[in-house]
Amino acid sequence: MDYEATLARLAAIGQEHLLDYYEELSPDGRTALLDDVERTDFSVLSSIGSEGDRTVGELTPADMLGLKEIEKRRGEFEKIGLKAIREGKIAAVLLAGGQGSRLGWDGPKGTFDIGVSRELPIFACQMENVKEVAKKAGYNFRVFIMTSSINDAATRDFFARHGYFGYDKDKISFFVQDMTPACDFSGKVLLSEKYAPALVPNGNGGWYVSLVKGGYKEILDKEGIEWLNVYGVDNVLQKICDPVFVGATLSAGVNCSGKVVAKACPEEKVGVLCKEDGAPTVIEYTELKDEQRYARDEEGNLLFGAGVILNYIFSVKKLDEIGGEKLPYHIARKKVSYIKEGKKVVPDEPNAYKFELLAVDLVKLMGNCLGFEVVREREFAPVKNATGVDSVDTARELLKANGVKL
Ligand code: UTP
C-alpha cells in the first residue's frame, strides 16, 4: 500500500498520527512502516469500553476430582496416563509468548535464571520435568513452544545454546503467535519506533490457531496426537504431561481438564474454575459476588475455591470442532515503551491498553472441563513479579522446599 492509501485508511479510524515521522524516515523505514500498518488488525480497538459489560450467569462449582479421590485412584490413573504418553497420544504446549513486563526481565521469561549458586533458567526447571516424565513413560513426547515475534529468535537461540536441555531436539518445535496494536488510554495506537507501530503479543488464547498456522496440525494428525497439555512458562514447579493428570482426564471422558489448587483464602486474586449456566468457565476473582467468594460446603471448603494454575489438557478433536469460534479480546493495562515528541519513553507505570485473547476462554467452548486438584506447595510456584507476592523470592523458597538445588 502506498503512502496516500495508508494515510486515508488511518485517517478513517483516527490513527493518522502513526505517519507523523514518515517524512524523516529512510526509504527502508518508510516501507517497513507502511507494511506494518497494512498487516495490522486495528479492529481490536473497538473492544475499548466493552469491558465490564458482561453479566455473569448462574455459577455452580466445577466438576472436580479432589486430592482424596486422586490419591485413592493414583495407580489406576498413572497407568492409563503412561500408556497414552508412550503411545504418543499427548503432546505439550508451552505458552512462552508473553512479555513478562511485571518481572522486568529483558528477555524471554524462560531465560530468567532462578538459580542461586548454579545456573538454573526457568526453561531448564520445566525441561527437567519433561525429561523425567518422558523417561518414566519410555517415550519422548513432543513439546511445542509458543513464542512471539519479539522473543522468538532469543528463545530458539537459548534452547540451541543449552543443547535443548538434554531433550530430543527433534521433538521440540517453536511457533509464533499473532500480534495486536497497543494504544494509549485515549485509543491512539502507540509508535514503538518512528517507523513501527507498537505491536504486542495478542495474549495466550490464540495458541491453537497459531499452532495450526505454524503448520503443526499435520504432525498432530500424522502422529495421532489427540491431547494437548498446555501450560504457562512462569510456574517453576509446573508438572508437564503429568501421567496421573493425563490418566484422570482420559478416564473421565471429558474434552478438557484443568489443574487447580485450593485457594489460599477467599480473597486470593486467582481465576476460579467453575460452571456458568452449566458450561465450564474460569471466573475472574473480581466477578465473584461476596456471597459466592465466602460460601463453603459441608466440609468447610470454599465452594468457589478451585484456583487455576494455567495447566490444562485439551482434546484436539474438540479444538478442531470449535475452530471457527472467535474468542473475545480482553483489555489489560500494561507498560509499553513509546515514541513521544521524537524520543523514546520507557514508562514506570502502565500507560497502554493491550488486547489479549485468553486461554481460559477456550475452556468455555469445550463443553465440559474436569478440575483436577493438586497440592499448591508441590506444583504452584509462579514467577510474576521481581519481589513480593508470586515473585522470584517466593518461587525460590518453594523450589528449595521441593528439594531442588539452587
Ligand atoms: P501473563 O498473563 O503473566 O502475561 O502470562 P505476561 O505477558 O507473560 O506477563 P506480564 O503480565 O507482562 O507481567 C501467562 C502465561 O501466558 C503466556 C506467558 O508467556 C505465560 O506463560 N503468554 C501471555 C503468551 O504466551 N502470550 C501472550 O501474549 C501473553
Domain boundaries, the chain: 1-39, 40-401
What is the per-residue DSSP string for 190-214? PEEETTEE-EEE-BSTTHHHHHHHT
In a mutational test of the pocket of ligand 1, which residue from 125, 178, 204 has the highest number of ligand atoms less than 8 Å from its CB?
204
Q: Which pTM value belongs to this model?
A: 0.95
Q: Residue 73: is its pLDDT beyond 90? A: yes
Of 51-55, 59-63, 68-72, 138-142, which gets the smallest average pLDDT? 51-55
Joined together, the cell numbers standing for residue 208 give 491453537
What is the per-residue DSSP string for 116-157? SSS--BHHHHHHHHHHHHHHHHTS---EEEEE-TTTHHHHHH
Q: Closest residue (by CA) to atom 2 of ligand 1?
A: 98
What pLDDT digit, counting tens, does each position of 331-368 carry? 999 999 999 999 999 999 999 999 999 999 999 999 99
C-alpha neighbours within 13 Å on the C-beta side of residue 370: 21
What pLDDT digit, counting tens, does each position of 307-339 carry? 999 999 999 999 999 986 789 899 999 999 999
Joined together, the cell numbers standing for residue 378 give 508441590
Atom of ligand 1 nearest to the CA of 334: 12
What pLDDT digit, counting tens, does each position of 123-141 carry? 999 999 999 999 999 999 9
pLDDT band at 99 (very low <50, low <70, confident <90, very high): confident
DSSP 171: G
What is the per-residue DSSP string for 258-290? EEEEE-SSTT----EEEEETTEEEEE-GGGS-H
Q: Residue 205: is its pLDDT beyond 70? A: yes
Is 23 within 8 Å of 7 (Cβ atoms)?
no
Q: Residue 189: is its pLDDT beyond 70? A: yes
Domain 40-401 matching CATH 3.90.550.10: the answer reads yes
Looking up cell 466440609, which residue turns up? 299
Spatial CB neighbours of 387, under 8 Å, sequence gap ≥ 6: 393
Is 383 within 8 Å of 238 (Cβ atoms)?
no
Mean pLDDT of the 39-53 span: 83
Q: What is the C-alpha separation between 256 and 246, in angstroms, rounded?
A: 10
Atom of ligand 1 nearest to the CA of 233: 21
Cα(202) to centroid of ligand 1, in Å? Answer: 10
Q: Residue 52: is its pLDDT beyond 90? A: no
